[in-house]
């Protein structure tokens, strides 16, 4: 059971059960003049009476006798008379909190033999009779908290007789009752049953903590938070030790006069799960400081929650003994806010947290920390919540959070952070919440990487701001748009970019130039030869073209025509070129002049295979001159010269040289396949250009 108000929790459970039962149709409402009463037909068939805050002066007489849970809190009873609850003999839970009660008749609770929980907190009780609880044989919880001076300054043995005959009593709350002392032997009747005791906010000597633990070996929760700066008691022990208790699970402790305790030791508490230690510096405002070397926490194997907040604590020790939490392997939550860790040496600060491999939550807020050394959080691989707010951090160094891959929430509010180093948040792959309000981040070029990282983070609930370089105006970090040219010296980047672009364009141009004939030919193949065919001129509209080209060559070069030219052009099934070869297409009986002229008129182009044999042939010379005439007349569309490999163009006669300037010239390449392939593509493109487009 926690320190939270137990009666509220108990009533809440009943309310929830009642709501559940009402949803299922298992609740019956009973009429009462001043209270809300209903029957829960659920788990325990309870009758609940809610008389909270009704300004009652006495218990309503019309409550059902079957009532089992009654809440009379925040009324004005003042006095509880004899047998006032007698007709409610089935009560199991009774709340009388804040009812201005100052007097209880010794038989006030007569007849409540089934009562399990009694709450009399926040009243004005003084010196109740030692017979007040004698009839509560089943009571397990009694809460007398916030009854100032209920027992006077000393809870005597005779007053403890009020609890003596309560065999089921397991929880006793006496916090804020002004007690300065009580006889420890008075606890002996409860040594086997007592589980929870709250003695907080009294003026008890620290010795009572050790005595209570020794007398009640089955105690699971003990709250012993004393008032600070009490002048009523004095500790005489230089070393104070709490050890060898096997059942205590929750211990909340603040000593009286802590400056008189040189060493405080907690060890071998095998069941302890929650330990809260405060007020070790003896100052509510932490004017004093406390060296954690004075606090020995040893062999707390089951400890899960440790609260060392508000102690003004720091650690000065040899680096070999700096691993402060090594005896707590299962620690999951560590609260160290409002301390003075800034005065701890950086190397000690790294070492003191190195054994916290199972830690899930860490609070280091309000420690006046100016810097966080890289490596401080390296061991906390399971950490999900890290609170570093309200310090004086100026920067977040790169690598600080490198091992926090499970961190979900990071709070850096109210620091003096101006710079976040590149890669500072590297490793935070699971981060969902980042809070950085009230810092001094500057909106300049250095924040751009953090800005990009922040935009990727789903952090809609928190808007982080930075300040302009020349103004105090706040700007949302995600909306800051720095000038790219202003932020960096980009001359090198621009030069490299331009050079790279030029190289890229040059490379593309080179590739295009190298494959220009392949590209043109592929284009023709893709869209058809009609796309590059010429429109017929008026002069040749009426001419009937049968051949793509008339081939002029020396009879001594027939082998090349038959082996290369004809197979590569006429066997092309896609374009179906037709060549006029005099050996094959001239009709017998016609003169050579008529045959050549008729062949040229029936062809789009004239193709000359130029070799040394060609230059020595009179027929070829005639065909060349005739082709020149036909070209100028428009009877043919082009003249194509193909020179054999290694042909010396200086041997050409001058008229042919002049004619070459107005005609297509191709050169028969060597045996390389690539060059031959390009040659045939170029020749085919020339022939296709001269065809009609229809």
- Whole domain around residue 515: which residue ranges? 491-520
Q: What is the pLDDT of residues 59-91, one digit of tens each?
A: 998 999 999 999 999 999 999 989 899 999 999
What is the SS3 string spanning 325-394?
Answer: CCCCCCCCEEECCCCCHHHCCHHHHHHHCCCCCCCCEEECCCCCCCCCCCCCCCCCCCCCEEECCCCCCC
Query: Is the pLDDT confidence value at 541 over 60?
Result: no
| Confidence (pLDDT) at 21 | 45
Section 500-523 average pLDDT? 83
Q: Rounded to whole angstroms, how far apart are CA atoms 90 and 678?
A: 110
More confident residue, 650 or 126: 126
| Confidence (pLDDT) at 284 | 47
Which of 48-52, 230-234, 473-477 has maximum average pLDDT?
48-52
Which of 171-180, 297-306, 481-490, 531-540 has maximum average pLDDT?
297-306
**One domain, residues 507 and 604:** no
Contact 268, 292 (CB under 8 A): no
Give the 3-state secondary structure of residue 512. Answer: helix
| Confidence (pLDDT) at 28 | 62
**One domain, residues 514 and 533:** no
**One domain, residues 550 and 513:** no
Which of 256-265, 351-360, 423-432, 608-617 has maximum average pLDDT?
351-360
**One domain, residues 589 and 497:** no
Q: What is the pLDDT of residues 555-589, one digit of tens each?
A: 999 999 999 999 999 988 888 889 999 888 888 87
Tally of CA atoms within 13 A in the half-sphere of 72 that contains its CB: 26
Work out the burial of residue 457: count CB atoms within 10 Å of its CB; fewer than 13 is exposed, 13-18 middle, 19 or more buried.
middle
What's the pLDDT band for 534 if we cut at 50, 70, 90?
low
Q: Rounded to whole angstroms, how far apart are CA atoms 603 and 546?
A: 6
Phi, psi of 580 (to 5 degrees): -100, 110
Q: Rounded to whole angstroms, how far apart are CA atoms 382 and 385?
A: 10
| Confidence (pLDDT) at 140 | 94
One-character DSSP codes across 528-556: -GGGGPBPPPGGGTTPPP-EEEEEE--GG
Q: Cβ atoms within 10 A of the Cβ of 416, count?
A: 14
Q: What is the pLDDT of residues 418-449, one digit of tens each?
A: 888 888 888 898 998 888 888 888 887 777 77
Phi, psi of 299 (to 5 degrees): 55, 50
**One domain, residues 515 and 534:** no
Residue 606 lies in a domain: yes
Q: Rounded to whole angstroms, how far apart are CA atoms 617 and 4?
A: 122
Q: What is the pLDDT of residues 113-160, one digit of tens each?
A: 999 999 999 999 988 888 888 889 999 999 999 998 787 766 666 566
According to DSSP, residue 479 is labeled G
What's the pLDDT band for 282 if we cut at 50, 70, 90?
low
Residue 41 lies in a domain: no
More confident residue, 654 or 248: 248
Q: What percent of the chain is helix, strand and coil (3-state, nearest 5)?
A: 30, 20, 55
Q: Rounded to whole angstroms, how far apart are CA atoms 403 and 424?
A: 12
Work out the burial of residue 73: count CB atoms within 10 Å of its CB; fewer than 13 is exposed, 13-18 middle, 19 or more buried.
buried
Tokens of 547: 């051949």
Residue 120 lies in a domain: no
Nearest Cα to 668, choosing from 601, 568, 570? 568
Contact 186, 212 (CB under 8 A): no
**One domain, residues 538 and 677:** yes
Q: Where are the beta strands (DSSP E) in 315-375?
A: 333-335, 361-363
Contact 350, 323 (CB under 8 A): no
Cα 56 vs. chain centroid, distance in angstroms? Answer: 54
Q: Rounded to whole angstroms, how far apart are CA atoms 103 and 111?
A: 19
Q: Could you tell me the strand order of the sheet in which 465-468 lies?
A: 442-443, 465-468, 474-476
Mean pLDDT of the chain: 82
Tokens of 16: 């929830």
**One domain, residues 507 and 644:** no
| Confidence (pLDDT) at 675 | 87
Nearest Cα to 78, choosing from 11, 113, 126, 143? 126
| Confidence (pLDDT) at 591 | 86
One-character DSSP codes across 603-631: EEEEEEEE-HHHHT-HHHHHHHHHHHHHH
Contact 385, 361 (CB under 8 A): yes
Residue 280 lies in a domain: no
**One domain, residues 513 and 619:** no
| Confidence (pLDDT) at 513 | 82
In Å, how far are 535, 550, 604, 628 from 538, measured between CA atoms? 9, 22, 14, 19
What's the pLDDT band for 273 if we cut at 50, 70, 90?
very high
| Confidence (pLDDT) at 153 | 65
Task: Tally the domains of the chain.
Answer: 2
**One domain, residues 634 and 503:** no
Query: Is the pLDDT confidence value at 285 over 50?
Result: no
**One domain, residues 684 and 609:** yes
Residue 667 lies in a domain: yes
| Confidence (pLDDT) at 65 | 92
Section 378-386 average pLDDT? 95
Residue 183 lies in a domain: no
Q: Rounded to whole angstroms, how far apart are CA atoms 35 and 554?
A: 130
Phi, psi of 349 (to 5 degrees): -60, -35
Contact 487, 460 (CB under 8 A): no
**One domain, residues 572 and 503:** no
Work out the burial of residue 192: count CB atoms within 10 Å of its CB; fewer than 13 is exposed, 13-18 middle, 19 or more buried.
exposed
Q: What is the pLDDT of residues 16-58, one digit of tens each?
A: 544 444 454 455 666 566 899 988 877 778 899 999 999 999 9
**One domain, residues 563 and 678:** yes
In Å, how far are 432, 433, 456, 457 from 478, measured between CA atoms? 16, 15, 10, 11
Residue 404 lies in a domain: no
CA angle 23, 29, 32 (to 5 degrees): 150
More confident residue, 454 or 363: 363
| Confidence (pLDDT) at 646 | 79
pLDDT more than 90, % of the chain: 37
| Confidence (pLDDT) at 234 | 42
Nearest Cα to 664, choosing from 653, 675, 650, 679? 679
**Cross-strand bridge partners of residue 516:** none
Residue 658 lies in a domain: yes
Which of 199-203, 389-393, 646-650, 682-686 has maximum average pLDDT?
389-393
Nearest Cα to 276, choosing from 329, 215, 337? 337
What's the pLDDT band for 391 if we cut at 50, 70, 90?
very high
Q: What is the pLDDT of residues 298-332, one digit of tens each?
A: 999 999 999 999 999 999 988 888 999 998 999 99
Q: Cβ atoms within 10 A of the Cβ of 387, count?
A: 21
Q: Rounded to whole angstroms, how far apart are CA atoms 681 and 517?
A: 7
Q: Rounded to whole angstroms, how far apart are CA atoms 217 and 210?
A: 11
Tokens of 97: 């909190």
**Using CA of residue 556, residue 558, residue 564, residue 568, what is the dihedral sign?**
positive
Element (H, E) at 70: strand 69-71
CATH of the domain at 636: 3.40.50.10140
What's the pLDDT band for 253 if we cut at 50, 70, 90?
confident
Where is the domain boundary, 499, 520, 541?
A: 520
């Amino acid at each position: 059971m926690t320190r939270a108000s137990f009666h509220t929790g108990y009533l809440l459970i009943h309310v929830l059960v009642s709501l559940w039962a009402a949803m299922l149709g298992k609740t019956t409402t009973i009429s009462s003049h001043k209270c809300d009463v209903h029957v829960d037909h659920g788990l325990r068939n309870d009758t609940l009476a809610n008389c909270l805050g009704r300004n009652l002066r006495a218990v309503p007489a019309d409550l059902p006798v079957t009532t089992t849970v009654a809440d009379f809190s925040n009324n004005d009873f003042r006095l509880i008379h004899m047998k006032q609850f007698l007709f409610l003999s089935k009560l199991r839970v009774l709340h009388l909190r804040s009812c201005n009660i100052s007097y209880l008749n010794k038989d006030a609770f007569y007849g409540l033999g089934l009562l399990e929980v009694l709450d009399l907190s926040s009243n004005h009780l003084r010196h109740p009779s030692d017979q007040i609880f004698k009839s509560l044989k089943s009571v397990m919880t009694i809460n007398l908290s916030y009854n100032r001076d209920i027992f006077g300054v000393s809870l005597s043995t005779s007053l403890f007789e009020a609890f003596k005959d309560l065999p089921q009593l397991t929880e006793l709350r006496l916090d804020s009752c002004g007690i300065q002392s009580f006889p420890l032997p008075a606890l002996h009747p409860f040594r086997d049953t007592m589980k929870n005791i709250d003695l907080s906010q009294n003026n008890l000597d620290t010795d009572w903590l050790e005595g209570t633990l020794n007398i009640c070996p089955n105690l699971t929760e003990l709250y012993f938070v004393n008032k600070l700066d009490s002048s009523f008691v004095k500790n005489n022990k230089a070393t104070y030790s709490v050890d060898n208790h096997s059942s205590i699970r929750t211990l909340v402790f603040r000593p009286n006069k802590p400056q008189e305790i040189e060493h405080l030791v907690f060890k071998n508490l095998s069941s302890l799960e929650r330990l809260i230690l405060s007020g070790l510096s003896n100052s509510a405002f932490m004017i004093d400081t406390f060296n954690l070397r004075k606090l020995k926490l040893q062999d707390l194997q089951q400890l899960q929650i440790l609260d060392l907040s508000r102690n003004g604590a720091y650690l000065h020790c040899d680096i070999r003994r700096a691993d402060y939490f090594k005896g707590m392997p299962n620690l999951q939550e560590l609260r160290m806010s409002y301390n003075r860790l800034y005065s701890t040496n950086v190397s000690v600060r790294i070492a003191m947290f190195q054994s916290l491999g199972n830690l899930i939550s860490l609070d280091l807020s309000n420690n006046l920390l100016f810097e966080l050394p890289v490596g401080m959080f390296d061991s906390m691989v399971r950490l999900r919540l890290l609170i570093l707010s309200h310090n004086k951090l100026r920067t977040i160094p790169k690598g600080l959070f490198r091992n926090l891959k499970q961190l979900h929430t990071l709070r850096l509010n109210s620091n003096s952070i101006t710079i976040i180093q590149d890669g500072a948040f590297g490793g935070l792959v699971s981060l969902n919440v980042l809070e950085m309000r009230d810092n001094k981040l500057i909106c300049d070029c250095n924040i751009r990487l953090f800005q990009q990282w922040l935009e990727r983070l789903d952090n809609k609930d928190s808007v982080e701001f930075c300040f302009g370089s020349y103004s105090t105006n706040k700007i949302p970090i995600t909306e800051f748009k720095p000038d790219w040219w202003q932020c960096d010296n980009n001359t090198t980047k621009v030069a490299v970019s331009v050079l790279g672009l030029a190289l890229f364009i040059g490379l593309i141009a080179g590739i295009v130039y190298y494959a220009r004939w392949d590209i043109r030919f592929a284009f023709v193949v893709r869209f058809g030869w009609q796309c590059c065919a010429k429109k017929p001129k008026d002069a040749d509209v009426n001419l009937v073209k049968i051949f793509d080209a008339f081939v002029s060559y020396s009879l001594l070069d027939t082998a090349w025509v038959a082996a290369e030219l004809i197979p590569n052009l006429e066997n092309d099934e896609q374009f179906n070129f037709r060549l006029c070869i005099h050996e094959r297409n001239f009709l017998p009986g016609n003169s050579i002049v008529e045959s050549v002229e008729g062949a040229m008129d029936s062809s789009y182009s004239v193709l000359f295979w130029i070799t040394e044999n060609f230059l020595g042939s009179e027929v070829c010379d005639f065909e060349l001159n005739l082709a020149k005439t036909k070209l100028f007349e428009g009877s043919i569309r082009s003249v194509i010269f193909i020179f054999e490999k290694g042909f010396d163009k200086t041997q050409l006669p001058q008229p042919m040289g002049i004619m070459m300037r107005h005609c297509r010239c191709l050169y028969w390449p060597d045996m390389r396949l690539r060059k031959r392939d390009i040659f045939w593509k170029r020749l085919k493109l020339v022939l296709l250009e001269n065809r009609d487009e229809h």
